Structure 1
């Protein structure tokens, strides 16, 4: 469908116009070419006089977020070649290189911000994560191995242990004198931590816990530092005392002696070569009658006295379990940020290349077109750029929430539940999007994107596992959906019969209204013959908010209605009902996460002061919001939220948006602030521009000299 909206109205500035943007600088013509290349016509229309200009420096500062200076310092560190991955290294070489890089981080004081001041830290939880995420620029293996050491192993001692544990073990963990493993996941249980098989049975006679992995599926698996480097571990096991299983608790366990050999009763295997992250020595561990002192129980949330009596400040076993795991949410926070950074790097590489690489000459007899001038190329990359912006702004809000909870500024049960829900909603979206973006960027760069020297394939391999560790994405979204259902049900807690009846009537009326097509018919009449009118409403911020919010609320309401009666059924039947709604639950949770991102983008947009930047970011926000609507057009049509006319207008307007954003694409990726030392992709350094300029100068010289051969088709027409 053609967008028939008035161009004068369609391009009217939302704010006062800024000066026309200055074209991005291009590399110089290669040495040895005497004639400058003939300027190639562009597939995009000439920019109008009121074309906005992006303030790249100010936008870049906003993208850096709350801990901007710490991020800049971390990026300066990540630009150091000593921290970079060397392509082509063997697994063993890569592992040892990453270990040495970890030592450099310790020397530079780069990894201790979250630890208490009493042991040499800064008590800066948000700043710690902000700096840590930037390590993905250097090498994802370094980022994740550092995360295992200080963000999981060390953080477990910090958050699950008490002062004696901190004083005894944190100094060695912080200095890397004691590399450690985070032994939670088992071969047979990943995301379902509550069902792990490892046991820690208390022996009153010796005042020791006896650690066992009683069957093969209970072996601790996929553990960073377990295969080679780990000396100790924080191990999660079912705590059993006086014949009662008190659920999963954490224990500090020594693994190897000074010579690197396993201690008695402990064994393990190397997980070997993986699909990515091969700088990390992942392995599996098993335990048979391994005895540890009673004091090695990390006892902040549960303790065992010498006589075997169990006590806990949290009476509910379920709440205790989730509180313990909630203290380790920082892994999901950092993955959200690192995945967003990886996607931003990929788009910077692909868009830089797309503005230089030329292919086919549909608009000119002499010059080929720049890839990014093709609509399909814009459609492939610019919506993903809009999503990265939304993720970046949402992540900063997420990180602020994390810092407030862990610093104690806002540490109520509700605050912690909100943080856990945000983590479970945002980490899946950003990690999935990173993989999609890296793949699309790779394809958009053709064969050049498949070369290891241009980083896209390596990043794609390394980030693959981000979607499953720290919680499988689908499982995390199911947790979000359950929270949404709980909040939905709380709205009617204690409601009288009249209130419920009125709600049922309103729901029935709404189903009839949408289901009979009345809303669709009304929209069709209002919009008939005027895509411009549809576009005008769709680009309204409140319209987008209503569309995205309505989808979440309607989906949850429908599911809640179907599950309401399941509470009265036998357990097996109730589980079957829940299972039949599982896919919709996960989709509703995903829609909720997308709404969080859109809202964060809108709040960030409201803070932009520069008129030109605000206008361009408004287009980008609209591209993100309407892109979500376009992805789910079937839902909006089936539920009567959009007419066919308006549904067509969504795609038509998106086509206009990518065309508008095309002249600003380089500014938008340059605002991320990545230098050549960060990207380390030859196709993003201007080398392609030099090749294109050389080729065009060559043909221009031949045309000028009259030595260019005549094409066969032209010769036949003479």
Structure 2
């Protein structure tokens, strides 16, 4: 543990669920106690690092540890500086090693050699980001998208026919959904699959350039088949988007007749993946290649489906592929952990400027600004980690069949759409701040922050653009207003938003009275005491979601009374507010997950420190949105200042625990692989300090010209 220049001692809390209030004081060397000394003060709480590290592994700890053992092997790790061709070859070879290790079959059926372990599969998969994001995403393309589409959209025939060669990597494949002209709007893709009853074949065709399938992993070089999404047309009727298994290359790597494509070439990151484009010129595939779990075509061309509503059928099919968003949420959080492990370890060792000493330079992490750059992001990373465990548990429940109702699937989709944007943006933000906090050393490729930042950039648009996903969350919060809005009461819609996140602890009027009372007392100390309460934090965060959704619902009440154009214009005029409400909803979900996680911690020291971390996250959200709270009368100016002041005190309070908190992530040097976080910096600093100390002791040190003359 690195000694800090500032520490605090707790005082008695006035709230049952509040952490002790920090009181700043300088560190002094304690005197040896004697019978005349006063009673010693309580010791500073400390984290049980081993216990917390295991706790953070979550329900699928074994799967994570197995994956970390694989990613610790040098042959599974990224080699910085490789050309695109070399990187692609390395990544494909690593996929074959994953197959050899049996690391790819967890989600597939036991009768085919899998384990039917959906949660464990995702937990292990997202850990691959520590080895190389290209490895994580390319394996995700093969088994999490291409293979998962066959598994979840196909039936037993498709499982038996196609899955064994997909699982073994005998058939590398692409997931051909996105088109150059349509990304997030899958329902409007241009590729068609027209049924020919005379030959019992579907004719796959891309009628114009914008309908080319684009940005597809495995499409440029390695893929020999693809799951192609297209508009299913039979007997002159378009039944919407369905998925088809389509061979695209022969064994020698040449395109099959009617199939063409291009290499996407050099990208901003993830260059170990052979992303490319595909197009089809009346390519014929057998009728049985339709992945027909939710919609089928008989030999005579008759279409049938167990889901009568085209819209519901479409969203059900896409919902089966939600695991991509789930895994990106977890992988982004893992990347943020690696970034903070590097930056906080380095910041606790790197010294700069002799601010408080004539001889010793200060550790970077002892500077207030350095703390405020990293420690609040550490708090958000813990919140994202606990929220991801909730999401992963929900995912496993749905896909294992333990809780697989329409409501469960809708809740899962909403939860994934709410959390994936927050975690991917946070991962990028944390990687950038960590890079800057490490100065020039952070810019060196050997310390990984720049390459991780480049690779994770696309996560913000993978599996759905983040803003589009938040818009979906907002629509869910507003409850299917296109059908029921005219009859829905604003209060009903607002209550629905809150029910999605938490049981309401404080009603709106009570919250307003509380805020007003604090304002009237003009007491910063009382304000801080209130803010430390989980009840008050929950109330403030919940009230923001409630109020925003209620206001939007009121604004949209006229949508059902006018023309389609008027409704679209009204919706567009409220789009920014909807996305912001959805973001607030996701933040509340993270806070709730963190708060729930605290209830499962028995060790007093660990619980105390993590409660401060939770408070820093929660109050950070309130500070971030202080303008809203002030404008809407939820906080007085004095209380808003108290939030800011207490955040600074909490950040300083957590400084002595920062290294322990990143060590608890459980990533060893073999996962971090950044020289500046390996102890090298500490050795350099010690060498320099020893040199100057010995030089001073020798009497041969030169005299500083600014020194007073004797």
Given the two structures, how large is their TM-score scaled by the length of structure 2?
0.92
Please point out which of 369, 376, 383 is paired with 2:362: 369
CA 1:45–1:285: 2 relative to 1, 3 Å: farther
Residue correspondence of structure 1 range 14-93 to structure 2 within 5 A: 49-93=42-86
State how far apart, in whole Å, the 2-side matches of 1:149 and 1:375 are. 46
- 2:607 is matched with which residue? 614
Residue correspondence of structure 1 range 560-575 to structure 2 within 5 A: 560-575=553-568
CA 1:341–1:521: 2 relative to 1, 3 Å: closer
Preserved CA contact (<8 Å) 1:339 1:430: yes
Cα offsets for 1:228-275 (capped at 9, x unmatched): 000000000000011111000000000011211001111000000000
CA 1:499–1:342: 2 relative to 1, 3 Å: closer
Cα offsets for 1:131-152 (capped at 9, x unmatched): 1111111110000000000000
Q: Across the two proteins, how many residue pairs are aligned to each other?
A: 678
Give 1:565 shift. 1.0
Matched, 1:9 2:11: yes
- 1:396 is matched with which residue? 389
Residue correspondence of structure 1 range 607-686 to structure 2 within 5 A: 607-686=600-679
State how far apart, in whole Å, the 2-side matches of 1:485 and 1:442 are. 39
3-state SS of paired residue (2:307): coil
- 1:687 is matched with which residue? 680
Please point out which of 347, 360, 364 is paired with 2:340: 347
State how far apart, in whole Å, the 1-side matches of 2:557 and 2:132 are. 48
3-state SS of paired residue (2:694): helix
Please point out which of 452, 457, 481 is paired with 1:459: 452
State how far apart, in whole Å, the 2-side matches of 1:17 and 1:247 are. 55
Give 1:13 shift. 11
Cα offsets for 1:7-55 (capped at 9, x unmatched): 763789979999xxxxxxxxxxxxxxxxxxxxxxx98777965200110
Please point out which of 150, 157, 164 is paired with 2:157: 164
Cα offsets for 1:599-647 (capped at 9, x unmatched): 0000101110000001000000000000000000000000000111110
Give 1:562 shift. 0.3
CA 1:203–1:668: 2 relative to 1, 3 Å: same
CA 1:208–1:607: 2 relative to 1, 3 Å: same
State how far apart, in whole Å, the 1-side matches of 2:26 and 2:63 are. 41
CA 1:272–1:8: 2 relative to 1, 3 Å: closer
Residue correspondence of structure 1 range 548-587 to structure 2 within 5 A: 548-587=541-580
Preserved CA contact (<8 Å) 2:15 2:529: no
Give 1:190 shift. 0.4
Residue correspondence of structure 1 range 311-350 to structure 2 within 5 A: 311-350=304-343
State how far apart, in whole Å, the 2-side matches of 1:626 and 1:173 are. 48
CA 1:622–1:489: 2 relative to 1, 3 Å: farther
Residue correspondence of structure 1 range 221-300 to structure 2 within 5 A: 221-300=214-293
Preserved CA contact (<8 Å) 1:425 1:480: yes
Residue correspondence of structure 1 range 396-545 to structure 2 within 5 A: 396-486=389-479, 522-526=517-521, 528=522, 530-545=523-538
Question: Is there any run of 5+ residues in structure 2 with no aligned partner, and where?
Answer: 1-7, 31-40, 494-507
Preserved CA contact (<8 Å) 2:9 2:44: no
Question: Is there any run of 5+ residues in structure 1 with no aligned partner, and where?
Answer: 1-5, 19-41, 501-511
Give 1:531 shift. 1.1
CA 1:416–1:495: 2 relative to 1, 3 Å: closer
Given the two structures, how large is their TM-score scaled by the length of structure 1?
0.91
State how far apart, in whole Å, the 1-side matches of 2:128 and 2:532 are. 37
Cα offsets for 1:269-306 (capped at 9, x unmatched): 00000000000000000101111111110000000111
Give 1:490 shift. 11
Higher RCO (CA 8 Å, separation ≥ 6 residues): 1
Preserved CA contact (<8 Å) 1:454 1:682: yes
State how far apart, in whole Å, the 2-side matches of 1:624 and 1:691 are. 34
CA 1:629–1:356: 2 relative to 1, 3 Å: same
3-state SS of paired residue (1:274): coil
- 1:379 is matched with which residue? 372
State how far apart, in whole Å, the 2-side matches of 1:305 and 1:648 are. 68
Preserved CA contact (<8 Å) 2:193 2:232: yes
CA 1:216–1:45: 2 relative to 1, 3 Å: farther
Matched, 1:98 2:86: no
3-state SS of paired residue (1:713): coil
Please point out which of 186, 191, 213 is paired with 1:193: 186
Give 1:207 shift. 1.1
CA 1:446–1:237: 2 relative to 1, 3 Å: same
3-state SS of paired residue (2:244): strand
- 1:696 is matched with which residue? 689
Preserved CA contact (<8 Å) 1:148 1:182: yes
3-state SS of paired residue (1:486): coil
CA 1:685–1:518: 2 relative to 1, 3 Å: closer
State how far apart, in whole Å, the 1-side matches of 2:205 and 2:549 are. 42
Preserved CA contact (<8 Å) 1:269 1:284: yes
- 1:25 is matched with which residue? none
Please point out which of 585, 589, 592 is paired with 1:592: 585
3-state SS of paired residue (2:159): helix
- 2:699 is matched with which residue? 706
Please point out which of 177, 200, 204 is paired with 1:211: 204
State how far apart, in whole Å, the 2-side matches of 1:212 and 1:601 are. 49
- 2:497 is matched with which residue? none
3-state SS of paired residue (2:238): strand
Q: CA RMSD in A?
A: 2.7
User: Which deviates more, 706-715 or 160-169?
Assistant: 706-715
3-state SS of paired residue (2:382): helix
